[in-house]
Structure 1
Amino acid sequence: MADPFPNDPEGATVALVLAGGRGSRLDPLTAARSKPAIPLAGTYRLIDVVLSNLVHSGLRDVWIAEQYRPFTLNQHLAGGRPWDLDGTRHGLRILPPAQGRAEEGFASGNGHALAQQVPLLTLFGADTVVVLSADHLYQMDLRPVLAGHRESGAELTMVTTVTDEDPSRFGVVQVDDDGAVTGYDYKPEDPEGDLVATEIFVFSVAALQEVIDRLVAEQEDVPDPSEDVDEDGDPVASSLGDYGETIIPAFVARGRVREHRLEGYWRDIGTLDAFHRAHREILDGTGLRLDAPGWPVLTNPVAAPPARIERTARIAGSLVSPGAHVAGEVEDSVIGPGVVVSEGARVRNSILFGEATVPAGAVLDTVIADVGATIPEGETIGSAERAEDIVVLVPDLTDPDADDETTGVGQAAD
């Protein structure tokens, strides 16, 4: 069979975005859409951040590994066209689960998902792969990271940052004075320091294959061989679980891992509280800058007329998206496309995704409202007494188990 990937030096580096997880900590916002497809700051999606960083960094081969509810995400991606990634030989490529050998099909953890792509990376001719997640906010030029990786001869370069959150939520990193990684603890109960991995990893593809092969080979004595071996009785990569528990520590043990420090803003938004906090930071100017000169966040825009602001409206410290109609009061909030804030309604410290009406007399305080959520007239919902008291409103569908991924809405469990 002819080589489907003829030798091409432009394909030496591939960016692999792991976008297949369930995102259960953001439920119910992920009840009917994948986490990367969640709306961000009114007119964006979470995946726009990582794609914008990759495109601005000059990376042209961007692969997205999907699994959970990909339809809405694929609608938004539109084959990569909004990011000028719709090339014939290079550009955006979707990697859905594929049934074939025992190690293929649905991934059981992101370590397994990464292992599934290594043979394709090798066939493509990639010598370096940048592995990223789609639920972090940051703006970073990856070209110095890649240059440092090659110059140092490292097998793995991890981007690190000093966090102002609980380090035990992340992979905690120890480094020496020369930037070599000397230790890595994944979500430790008693973390040594506040330097953490940002889940931006630059791997040598050859070393990644070696590490995965060795880790899989060590799983020969699995408790239930019927689940962890292929048809020939060989162990498969489903045993890898989360790469933070298996693959990354194995690389650190080999002694050729370096860090690249990210000094700017970085926020993990894998929880509702972190998601809400990140929006407050966008609004007050301390968070992700959507219109950074030379580094804007790019998206697949939805055609909509300009926002309509009535004379009765009072708006302060907020983002109002195209297609919105505001006649009431909005403070420190994000108003998505198609949202109507009626005269006599008040919205404070809230995020309204889109296509919802806040009727007269209603008060929303510290609320996240999904697309199409029903908001009762004359009721006060939410409270500003504690920042963690976030109320999430989702559409009230007739069938509590139903969802509509084509619109990105769903019924939350009680």
Structure 2
Amino acid sequence: MRIPRTLALILAGGKGSRLGALTEKKVKPALPVAGTYRLVDIALSNLVHSHISDVWVVQQYLPFSLNQHLANGRPWDLDRTHGGLQVLPPYEGTEDEGFADGNADSIYRQKDLIRDFAPDLVLVLSADHLYTLNFLDVIGTHLEKGADLTMVTTVVDEDASRYGVVQADDDGRVTGFDYKPEQPRGHLVTGEMFLYDAQQLLEALDVLHEQEGQLEDYGNDLVPWFVAHRTVVEHRLDGYWMDLGTVQSYWTAHLQVLDGDGVTLDDPGWPILSAQPQLVPARIDGSAAVHRSMVAAGSTVRGTVEHSVLGPRVVVEEGAVVRHSVLLDGVRVAAGATLENVVADMGAEIPAGQYGGPGAVTLIDETGAVSATEEFDRSARLPGGF
């Protein structure tokens, strides 16, 4: 199959407000995943393995840490003379200047650049999800079905009201779409990966902007317009998919990786690529005990760590206990501290005491204070045993 000229747009400008303290000082795509990765690595790695090398990252909120990590695309071999990775920040000077009001508006503000690039297809991704997908298969579905829009879909067991809910017939034709409905019609949802015919996308953006004056999120205007006026089909993702939009889902995804029930990060044929920190190996000192855990480089463990993920430069002192927890870069757990079902933000200094417990996830902010506690949503996917 000849690969059509495909432009990938990664929308990496959202605040991720449901993640609380985790995204107060960093954009969600820069969040650590499994210790040494960043969330944006998932989208970039899937694109590179799918032989899509024209990638634009649309930024807005707190871009500095993300730009540091992107390193001009070098970790993914996207630092190219022709094509490769391009970063698109907000700008002034034209009619499309300023900050976007949603992801559809973000695309609209790049319409002139897209038109000049002249792609056949535009693949729009959010950098908020864990999954493995060959986008060449999505392109194949798109061409085979003669679609104007092909959306990647997946089935969730939980309450689907926080997703875009899709209705489709037996042939894969999308017949209905409801964005975050109060009463979802089924459990088939969009994975927020959309493959558009480029000319149809540009036309839709112009028509909607003329009609409404201002675009917002894709679910409010862009996708419903395509479902109503164009040929829209689904490409079903049957493998693992998780939206890391809440503290519980962020915690859950990490424990599922530990248990072998989550996304595969170390497949030799499809590895997740990243700008790894250059650090000495982790140290396990003295009477330390580590069970069923991932401990990143630069960390030191002198206490007990069970069923947890430790990021780079984490220190667990002797006499500290960490269970079923996710500790981000540079967290220090003092002697006498016990953590259970905890997510600790970067650089947190956690003094002695009891943190967290069964039935909920506790978020600790960078000051070492408890920022939020979320009781388990039993309708959502949880790790085995919880």
TM-score (norm 2): 0.93
1:110 aligns with 2:103: yes
AA at the equivalent of 1:80: G
Following superposition, the deviation at residue 13 of structure 1 comes to 0.5
**Structure 1 partner of 2:231:** 256
**Structure 1 partner of 2:376:** none
Following superposition, the deviation at residue 293 of structure 1 comes to 2.9
AA at the equivalent of 2:236: R
1:160 aligns with 2:141: no
Q: Is the Cα contact below 8 Å between 1:11 and 1:124 reproduced in 2? A: no
**Structure 1 partner of 2:182:** 189
Q: Deviations over 1:49-108 (max 9, x none)?
A: 111111111111011000000000000000000010000111100000011223321111
Q: Is the Cα contact below 8 Å between 1:367 and 1:393 reproduced in 2? A: no
Q: Is the Cα contact below 8 Å between 1:374 and 1:396 reproduced in 2? A: yes
Following superposition, the deviation at residue 188 of structure 1 comes to 0.9
1:304 aligns with 2:297: no
**Structure 1 partner of 2:346:** 371
Separation in 1 of the partners of 2:185 and 2:371?
38
Please show how residues 133-172 of structure 1 align to structure 2 within 5 Å: 133-172=126-165
Separation in 2 of the partners of 1:329 and 1:105?
49
Following superposition, the deviation at residue 11 of structure 1 comes to 8.2
Q: Is the Cα contact below 8 Å between 2:364 and 2:372 reproduced in 1? A: no
Q: Is the Cα contact below 8 Å between 1:369 and 1:392 reproduced in 2? A: yes
Separation in 2 of the partners of 1:310 and 1:26?
33
Separation in 1 of the partners of 2:49 and 2:136?
10
AA at the equivalent of 1:78: A
Secondary structure at 1:64 match in 2 = strand
Secondary structure at 1:242 match in 2 = coil
**Structure 2 partner of 1:74:** 67
Following superposition, the deviation at residue 12 of structure 1 comes to 1.6
Task: Kindly name which structure, 1 or 2, has the bigger radius of gyration based on alpha carbons.
Answer: 1
Q: Is the Cα contact below 8 Å between 2:363 and 2:372 reproduced in 1? A: no
Q: Deviations over 1:326-373 (max 9, x none)?
A: 111001111111111111110011111121221111111111111211
Of all paired residues, the percent bearing the same amino acid is 52
Following superposition, the deviation at residue 391 of structure 1 comes to 2.7
Secondary structure at 2:75 match in 1 = helix
**Structure 1 partner of 2:363:** 391
**Structure 1 partner of 2:78:** 85
AA at the equivalent of 2:201: L
Q: Is the Cα contact below 8 Å between 1:361 and 1:379 reproduced in 2? A: yes
Following superposition, the deviation at residue 412 of structure 1 comes to 6.6
Secondary structure at 2:62 match in 1 = coil
* Change in CA separation of 1:313 and 1:413 when aligned onto 2, cut-off 3 Å: closer
Secondary structure at 1:259 match in 2 = strand
Q: Is the Cα contact below 8 Å between 1:159 and 1:198 reproduced in 2? A: yes
Q: Is the Cα contact below 8 Å between 2:350 and 2:368 reproduced in 1? A: no
Q: Is the Cα contact below 8 Å between 1:345 and 1:361 reproduced in 2? A: yes
AA at the equivalent of 1:367: V
Secondary structure at 1:200 match in 2 = strand
The count of residues paired between Structure 1 and Structure 2 equals 372
AA at the equivalent of 2:365: L
Determine which of 248, 259, 265 is the counterpart of 1:284: 259
Q: Deviations over 1:310-330 (max 9, x none)?
A: 241111111000111111100
**Structure 1 partner of 2:378:** none
Structure 1 unmatched runs, 5+: 1-8, 220-234, 398-410
**Structure 1 partner of 2:354:** 380
Q: Deviations over 1:228-264 (max 9, x none)?
A: xxxxxxx4xxx21111110000000014001100000
Separation in 2 of the partners of 1:382 and 1:283?
20
Separation in 2 of the partners of 1:116 and 1:241?
11
TM-score (norm 1): 0.87
Determine which of 328, 332, 340 is the counterpart of 2:315: 340
Q: Is the Cα contact below 8 Å between 2:131 and 2:263 reproduced in 1? A: yes
Q: Deviations over 1:170-216 (max 9, x none)?
A: 11111111111111111111111111110000001110111111111
Structure 2 unmatched runs, 5+: 374-386
1:45 aligns with 2:38: yes
**Structure 2 partner of 1:245:** 220
Separation in 2 of the partners of 1:14 and 1:166?
33
Separation in 2 of the partners of 1:57 and 1:389?
36
AA at the equivalent of 1:192: R
**Structure 2 partner of 1:266:** 241
Secondary structure at 2:234 match in 1 = strand
Secondary structure at 1:390 match in 2 = strand
CA root-mean-square deviation: 1.8
Q: Is the Cα contact below 8 Å between 1:273 and 1:390 reproduced in 2? A: no
**Structure 1 partner of 2:380:** none
